[in-house]
Amino acid sequence: MDVRLRPVTEDDLPVFFEQQRDPIANTMADFPAREREAFHIHWRTRVLVNPAGFARTILCDGAVAGNIVSFIHSGEREVGYWLGREFWGRGIATRALEAFLAIETTRPLHAFAVHHNLGSIRVLEKCGFVRAEQDAEGVTLIRYT
């Protein structure tokens, strides 16, 4: 299995849009899907042109598997990723995050995963993130230094 990262292109956005609409993924990530227009506005005006952000498309054997991004939130650098459900459970997120950490060198780097998203927490821990705290809503803060 070949997992690679490359810069995001406009052609990736329709795939990302469909991936983020998956109700099972939304429940797992505890993150609501955006409507088409809001999704494209977010990516075109906040992600792709953000000078403090960094976004990559995750490819698995040439197919767009998802995306991985870093950005500043509340004064801290965060990383987030999203995979289409058909790519879950194959080690793709772990490989993608490992590759991303080699090019996103800001430390510390933070990630948030809701307590029931055990797959994402496991990916983060396998890549060296350590649980730092859990807030009142059950969201785990995981830090990479």
Q: Is residue 137 part of a domain?
A: no
Q: For residue 116, give both structure tokens.
A: 């029931």
Give 21's contacts (C-beta < 8 A, 6+ positions apart): 33
Domain holding 10, by residue range, is: 3-106
Q: Is residue 43 part of a domain?
A: yes
Q: Is residue 50 part of a domain?
A: yes
Give the tens place of pLDDT for each residue, 3-47: 999 999 999 999 999 999 999 999 999 999 999 999 999 999 999
Q: What number is the average pLDDT over the span 58-73?
A: 97
Closest of 62, 80, 69 to residue 123, by C-alpha = 80
Number of structural domains in the chain: 1
Q: Is residue 27 part of a domain?
A: yes
> Which of these ranges, 25-39, 50-64, 110-124, 125-139, has the smallest mean pLDDT?
125-139
pTM, full prediction: 0.93
Q: Is residue 117 part of a domain?
A: no
Give the tens place of pLDDT for each residue, 79-123: 999 999 999 999 999 999 999 999 999 999 999 998 889 999 999
Q: Is residue 112 part of a domain?
A: no
What CATH number should be reported for the domain holding residue 91? Answer: 3.40.630.30
